[in-house]
Amino acid sequence: MDKYSQINESISRYVSFSKEELDILNSLLEYREVPKKTIMLHEGEMCNFEAFVIKGCIRKYYIDAGGQEVILQFAIENSWVSDISFSIYENRPSHTFIETLEDCELLIFTPESKEELFKKAPRFERAFRILLYRNLAVTQDRLFNTIAKTAVDKYLEFLDHYPTLPQRVAQHYIASYLGISAEFLSKVRAKIAKH
Amino acid sequence: MDKYSQINESISRYVSFSKEELDILNSLLEYREVPKKTIMLHEGEMCNFEAFVIKGCIRKYYIDAGGQEVILQFAIENSWVSDISFSIYENRPSHTFIETLEDCELLIFTPESKEELFKKAPRFERAFRILLYRNLAVTQDRLFNTIAKTAVDKYLEFLDHYPTLPQRVAQHYIASYLGISAEFLSKVRAKIAKH
DNA sequence: CCAAAACATTGAACTAGGACAAGAAATACA
DNA sequence: TGTATTTCTTGTCCTAGTTCAATGTTTTGG
């Protein structure tokens, strides 16, 4: 089980690639181990990486002017994390933080290495476009849930989608992801526990 | 001012294309006029189009099992609308409705014509990937606003982003987009009106 | 192994926003 | 032009979720 097997499988899910193409992909990725509680992107910085998670867990979050913190994404095994809020293509600094919650093994693209990939093996444009479609679909579903569902239903849906996370990350992070207070999540869980 | 000037300008914003490439793009699009209050995609149908709005306004919305309706997007001039909830790539039927709110002039892709575009002029993969990035960034911002802001702030932000919409669409649609009740939006507006 | 810090639970008081109802205003269309 | 329908407003009462505070529990790291 080498470093690249997960990413190669994941990227091949919707478009199939030759051994040569996957070799190009792998050669352009940087393997990096990042200890837990490392902030990989601070507010105001430009995000100069896109990371594929081999192992570990990362959170991406906003903090607005009023100090409100909202977790936008948990990136676990086999998912990607980056700040895509215009910054990469519009050269504007980011309002986003990206922080490891566990020790992580990552594969990293810089904007340059990704461009190089597309130059050397243009069919990856397609695979990354499809990944992006899925990402957008997931975000839209989440928006719908956030608006239309009660806290109980949101949490049940969350458990469905991320069954291992309650054992892996602090509960108040999950509350922030769901858009409810940590205290209320605790009450929600108590209510669910006694059927 | 021909039918294609807006889409050509919009698609050229981040990647520049030759006259020949734009001709290929234009030849693959179908121009269609759609009267107001037409439902272009019903729940359970597969979405077989991607529409660029030359003129008019379209809403895309979910209705869940409990009858809860949430507007996911207003598509106005120079924006795209389609149902991307997996359905295109996973061949699953959609939970989404797409409905014109005004008489519309559209340019339409089918999945086939879009594939053909990418085959004949692969550099469009890149432009559409960037459009998708922007779309995702907008959706994420909206998720943040929905979670972190009060109804008053959400409405003010909405006015900023869509200054013409309150004059164009019924207020309860805006309420649904913001995730608040129509009655409460009315109260929010009253409060804003008297400073 | 212990102290400090971070995290989780519970309760009480409060509030943003919802649901319902009834009337007023605007729009559609015959 | 007038009537029907849709939309908007306003008020009253209600509830899901918040805030604050106090207490208990778990994790961390020296």
The domain tally of chain A equals 1
Q: Report whether pLDDT(B11) > 90.
A: yes
* Contact (Cβ atoms closer than 8 angstroms) between residue A184 and residue A191: no
Q: Is residue A136 part of a domain?
A: no
* Contact (Cβ atoms closer than 8 angstroms) between residue A68 and residue B148: yes
Q: What is the pLDDT of residue A95?
A: 82
Q: Which of residues 97-156 of A touch strand D (CB under 7 A)?
A: 150-152
Q: Which residue has the higher pLDDT, A61 or A132?
A: A61
Q: What is the pLDDT of residue A90?
A: 57
Q: What is the pLDDT of residue B5?
A: 97
Element (H, E) at B25: helix B19-28
Choice among A144-148, B6-10, B93-97 with the minimum mean pLDDT: B93-97
B/e letters for A168-192, b = 16+ CB within 10 Å, e = fewer, are ebeeebbbbbbbbeeeebeebeeee
Q: Is residue A185 part of a domain?
A: no
Q: What is the pLDDT of residue B43?
A: 82
Average confidence (pLDDT) over A92-118: 91
Q: Which residue has the higher pLDDT, B67 or A34?
A: A34
Q: Is residue A79 part of a domain?
A: yes
Q: Is residue A141 part of a domain?
A: no
Q: Tens digit of pLDDT for each residue in B69-126?
A: 999 999 999 999 998 765 555 555 568 999 999 999 999 999 999 999 999 999 998 8
Q: What is the pLDDT of residue A129?
A: 84
Nucleotide nearest to A152 (CA to C1'): D16
Q: Is residue A158 part of a domain?
A: no
Average model confidence (pLDDT) for chain B?
92
Q: Is residue B14 part of a domain?
A: yes
Tell me if A129 and B133 make a contact (CB, 8 A cut-off). no
Question: Helices B111-120 and B123-148 meet at what angle, rounded to 10?
Answer: 130
Q: Report whether pLDDT(A88) > 70.
A: no
Q: How far apart are CA B63 and CA B149, in angstroms?
A: 24
Expressed as residue numbers, the domain containing B29 is: 5-121
Question: Which of B129, B135, B157, B174 to substitute to test the interface with A, most A CBs within 10 Å?
Answer: B129
Q: What is the pLDDT of residue A64?
A: 81
Give the minimum alpha-carbon distance from B140 to chain A in angstroms, rounded to a whole number: 7
Nucleotide nearest to A188 (CA to C1'): D17
Q: What is the pLDDT of residue B139?
A: 93
Q: Which residue has the higher pLDDT, A117 or B43?
A: A117
CATH number at residue A50: 2.60.120.10
pTM of this prediction?
0.93
Q: What is the pLDDT of residue B93?
A: 59
Average confidence (pLDDT) over A163-177: 97
Q: What is the pLDDT of residue A130?
A: 85
Q: What is the pLDDT of residue A89?
A: 53
Output the distance from B4 CA to D1 C1' rounded to whole Å. Answer: 43
- Residue B24's nearest CA partner among B127, B128, B119 is B119
**Amino acid (1-letter code) at residue A159:** L
Q: Is residue A116 part of a domain?
A: yes
Q: What is the pLDDT of residue B65?
A: 76
Q: Is residue A131 part of a domain?
A: no
Q: Tens digit of pLDDT for each residue in A8-53?
A: 999 999 899 999 999 999 999 999 999 999 999 988 888 889 999 9
Q: Is strand D within 7 Å of residue A192 (CB)?
A: no
Q: Which of residues 155-184 of A touch strand C (CB under 7 A)?
A: 170-172, 182-183
